[in-house]
């Protein structure tokens, strides 16, 4: 998936190092952990969860790479909400990239991706790979509605 300025990419375990400067920036972490930087093991665990999530559900918090140069500048995507059955959309961007509409651009792209899955005529070839994605009125629909509401789409 790509937008004018962004590429959505899957993770490899080594990518935790690219996330580290973002996950240890107190401003980025302000509403995540009260400004506390994540320790290395937590960042590594997050990345592993995205790798597993993509395999299990067909979605994750994808890395966001700059379409121009390929640098990793954050992530955007979906994750199951523990205990609720809902799926939430999330974003973190490196502070140097805030305020340029990139989160909005990523959310638009994600909403389009979900829409495309919903309108796909044949879903039976991938049911086991995406048990958590109800692209009708359920979980993924909830994420789209939430994204639309949050991002004013
Ligand atoms: C949230 C975040 C991804 C927004 O990135 P961004 O690229 O600067 O966002 P955009 O430029 O697309 O702006 C989207 C809208 O959110 C608003 N916005 C962005 N950051 C905001 C903030 N900290 N407080 C209030 N509104 C904010 C923008 O004004 C814009 O609204 P508008 O379209 O009405 O002008 C970025 O601030 C971030 O990484 N924050 C730290 C991590 C975090 O808290 N993530 C959210 C929870 S998962």
How is 12-34 classified by DSSP, letter by letter? -GGGHHHHHHHHT-TTTTHHHHT
Q: Is residue 47 part of a domain?
A: yes
- pLDDT for 99 equals 97
Element holding 129 (H helix, E strand): none
Most confident of 71-75, 85-89, 129-133: 71-75
Judged against a pLDDT cut of 90, whether residue 33 lies above it is answered with yes
Listed residue (119, 107, 51) closest to 77, CA to CA: 107
What ligand 1 atom has the least distance to the C-alpha of 31?
Answer: 44
Judged against a pLDDT cut of 70, whether residue 117 lies above it is answered with yes
- pLDDT for 77 equals 96
C-alpha of residue 103 to centroid of ligand 1, in Å: 7
Q: Is residue 30 part of a domain?
A: yes
- Looking at the chain, the whole-number percentage of residues with pLDDT higher than 90 is 63
- pLDDT for 121 equals 62
Neighbours of 28 (CB within 10 A): 21
Judged against a pLDDT cut of 50, whether residue 125 lies above it is answered with no
Q: Which of 64, 103, 143 to mutate to test the pocket of ligand 1 (most atoms within 8 A of CB)?
A: 103
Whole-model pTM: value is 0.80
Q: Is residue 1 part of a domain?
A: no
Judged against a pLDDT cut of 70, whether residue 133 lies above it is answered with no
Domain count, the chain: 1
The whole-angstrom separation of Cα 8 and Cα 67 is 9
C-alpha of residue 140 to centroid of ligand 1, in Å: 22
Judged against a pLDDT cut of 60, whether residue 122 lies above it is answered with no
- pLDDT for 116 equals 87
**Residue numbers of the domain that contains 53:** 6-151
76: domain CATH number? 3.40.630.30
Judged against a pLDDT cut of 70, whether residue 147 lies above it is answered with no
C-alpha of residue 122 to centroid of ligand 1, in Å: 36
Judged against a pLDDT cut of 50, whether residue 142 lies above it is answered with no
Q: Is residue 53 part of a domain?
A: yes
C-alpha of residue 148 to centroid of ligand 1, in Å: 14
Average pLDDT over residues 15-29: 98
C-alpha of residue 150 to centroid of ligand 1, in Å: 10
Pocket of ligand 1 (CB under 6 A): 28, 31-32, 90-93, 98-104, 152
């Amino acid at each position: 998936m790509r937008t004018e300025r962004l590429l959505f990419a899957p993770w490899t375990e080594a990518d935790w190092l690219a996330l580290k400067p973002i996950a240890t920036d107190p401003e980025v972490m302000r509403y995540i952990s009260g400004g506390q930087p994540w320790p290395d093991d937590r960042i590594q665990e997050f990345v592993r969860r995205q790798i597993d999530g993509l395999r299990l559900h067909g979605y994750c918090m994808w890395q966001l790479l700059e379409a121009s140069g390929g640098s990793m500048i954050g992530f955007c995507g979906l994750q199951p909400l523990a205990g609720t059955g809902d799926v939430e959309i999330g974003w973190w961007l490196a502070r140097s990239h805030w305020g340029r509409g990139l989160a909005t651009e990523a959310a638009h792209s994600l909403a389009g991706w979900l829409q495309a899955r919903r309108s796909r005529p044949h879903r039976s070839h991938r049911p086991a790979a995406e048990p958590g994605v109800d692209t009708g009125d359920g979980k993924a629909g909830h994420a789209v509605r939430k994204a639309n509401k949050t991002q004013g789409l």
